[in-house]
Amino acid sequence: MTPEEKYELFEKFCSNELSINEKARLDKLISEDKTIEKELQLYKELHIHLDASFNLEKEQETLKANLKRIGDDHFAKIPKEKVVKEKTDKKNSGQTTKKPKVIKLPTWSYAVAASIAIIFGVYFFTQSNPTYNDFAAIPELSISERGVDEENVKNAENAFNKQNYAIAEKYLSLLVSKDPENAEYQFYYAISLLEQDKYSGASEVLEKLSQGNSVYRYKAIWFEALNQLKQKKYDQSAKLLKTLPKEAEDYNKAQELLKKLD
Amino acid sequence: MPNNKPHPDQKYIEALLKNDTVLLAEIYDKFAPKVVGYIKKNSGDDSGAQDIIQETLITIYRQAKEKALQLTCPFDAYFFLLCKRKWLNELKKSSQKEVTINEEVVSINDESVRFAEETEIFNAKHELFTEMFDQLGKACKELLKVTFTIKSMEEVAQKLGQSYAYVRKKKSLCIGQLTQLVQNTPKFNQLKNML
């Protein structure tokens, strides 16, 4: 048997495409030659590895970004506890604590620094493109009084209003899956995604909302425009802004943004 | 004696698969401090620890995805062992810094060691596979990418303007070549002996 034939059998084995005859042939090969069995084993592993590498890329990146965020939160939290602990550790071990070096600046230097900061600020403010943060005013989420699913609702509300959007996303996604027609859940779910830079997820929900009849339909267009702005897709953003009708709550803000985008 | 019932801590493996923020944050709260403590005692800092923890979690995720990892031991010792060894490897790679070997931070049973070793072998293979894939020719790399990302082989064949059988044959030859490349590395034989 040529290597070509062997690998073709392996491939069919991995994708469940062996005919009965081919299966018998492969079984015979394996039973006669242990090295072929081992090679098939490795081929199979590589098959799984390649499949996962190509198809999990996006999922893995999302997980990684989430872990980074959770890690950042976690490590930002510890210092206070640790400083105390380290101090006591040092005392116990009788080591001398190193004094932190502080370099004193003369007071006039603050004035200089402030002036420089202002100059830079003015320069960049007038120069730069409008940003998401200039325009996004995130409304407060208040849904707990209509509690059907008290706990999830409360958790979603708390997390969202504390700007803990990763956790809010989790609860809102639960609420959306239980009540898929609820536009309010969908809207806040989209905002949670958007705040985490999960652009395409946010777009999907916002687009659906903007095509519906709920009170959130114009809000959805406005935030989708901000979504595009956040990604620096200025043309897309402008296009969406132009579709906002006068009666939309965010019409004036949209005009203001449009002017800056021109 | 290996037992087959999943440990309650399997929930952390599931959390990685589902990207469950609440449980993932719990992993950091519950298990990170020991790792951080260890790394700091061994020439590291917070940011080094954060990287090691994140990389270890990604490795566990990949193993769970590809091999349906079922934990029958507590997560604690398993995770600590993995982070610790990863850190020791880092140190070895970067310089000859002094390392205190401190095994008593968590109680370690045989099963945790076995699981940690399995994950390490998985990770080593993973790295080797990726390295060898890079050595394939451009045509193979592209063909494999297309055949694995587009699920229907008929669609792939159509896209490439070839017959289904031809594309499958090409694909099998590329993976065959990769199999050969991997088999011929000394590292692969070392890994095989570890199993």
More confident residue, B22 or A174: B22
- Residue A46 to residue B175, Cβ atoms within 8 A: yes
Residue A103 binned pLDDT confidence (cut-offs 50, 70, 90): low
Cβ proximity of B48 and B32 under 8 Å: no
**Digit-coded pLDDT (tens) for A205-244:** 998 888 888 888 888 999 999 999 988 888 889 888 988 8
Q: Which residues of A27-45 are buried (b: 16+ CB within 10 A; e: fewer)?
A: eebbeeeeebeebbebbeb
Q: Residue B102: pLDDT above 70?
A: no
> In a mutagenesis test of the A interface, which of B12, B16, B21, B131 is the best target, namely the one with the most A β-carbons within 10 Å?
B21
- Which residue is listed with tokens 């990418």? B145
CA distance B138 to A119: 52
* B50 and A CB contact within 8 Å: yes
Which of A16-25, A97-106, A164-173, B149-158 is predicted with the least confidence, judged by mean pLDDT? Answer: A97-106
Average of per-residue pLDDT values in chain B: 86
Residue of B nearest to A159 (CA): B22
Contact B21 A75 (CB under 8 A): no
Distance from CA of B66 to the nearest CA of A (A): 7
Q: How far apart are CA A7 and CA B179, in angstroms?
A: 10
* DSSP label of B62: H
Kindly report the number of other CB atoms within 10 A of residue A243's CB atom.
13
Rounded distance between C-alpha atoms, residue B47 and residue B53, angstroms: 10
Each domain of chain A, given as residue ranges in start order, spans: 3-132, 145-261
Give the pLDDT score at A78: 62
Rounded to two decimals, the ipTM of the complex is: 0.84
| pLDDT higher than 50, residue A98 | no
pLDDT at A84: 45
Average pLDDT score over residue span A129-145: 77
Does B172 contact A10 at a Cβ distance shorter than 8 Å?
yes
**From the list A8, A53, A169, which residue is nearest B172 (CB)?**
A8
Band (pLDDT 50/70/90 cuts) for residue A132 is confident
Burial letters A167-189, b for 16+ CB under 10 A, else e = bbbbbbbbbbeeeeebbbbbbbb
Task: Tell me the per-residue pLDDT of B160-186, one tens digit each, with 9 for 90 and over.
Answer: 888 888 999 999 999 999 999 999 998
Q: Distance, in angstroms, between B50 CA and closest chain A CA?
A: 6
Q: Contacts of residue A74 in chain B, CB cutoff 8 Å?
A: 25, 28-29, 32, 50
Nearest to B183 among A42, A67, A75 (CB): A42
* Angle between helical axes of B138-149 and A34-55 (0-180°, round to 10): 70
**Higher pLDDT among residues A153 and A83, named by residue:** A153
* A52 within 8 A of B66, measured Cβ to Cβ: yes
- Can you read off the two tokens belonging to residue B102? 């401190």
Mutation site, B179, B188, B189, B193, interface A, largest A CB count within 10 A:
B179
Instruction: Domain ranges for chain B, please list them.
Output: 1-119, 135-195
> What local confidence, expressed as pLDDT, does residue A5 receive?
92
> Rounded to whole angstroms, how far apart are CA atoms B37 and B44?
9
Please give the share of chain A, as a percent, with pLDDT higher than 70.
80
B4: CB partners within 8 A, 6+ apart: B70, B72
Which CA distances in Å does A45 have to A24, A60, B148? 22, 19, 14
Domain A145-261 is of which CATH architecture?
A: Alpha Horseshoe (1.25)
Per-residue pLDDT at B25 exceeds 90: yes
Which pLDDT band, with edges at 50, 70 and 90, does A95 fall under? Answer: very low
* Across A72-98, average pLDDT: 55
Burial B23-34 (b: 16+ CB within 10 A, else e): ebbebbeebbeb
What residues in A contact B47, CB-CB < 8 Å?
A: 75
> What phi and psi values does residue A195 have, to the nearest 5 degrees?
-65, -20
Substitution target in B29, B174, B175, B184 with the highest count of A β-carbons within 10 Å is B175
Report yes or no: A251 and A242 within 8 Å, Cβ to Cβ.
no
For A52-69, give the secondary structure using H, E and C: HHHHCHHHHHHHHHHHHH
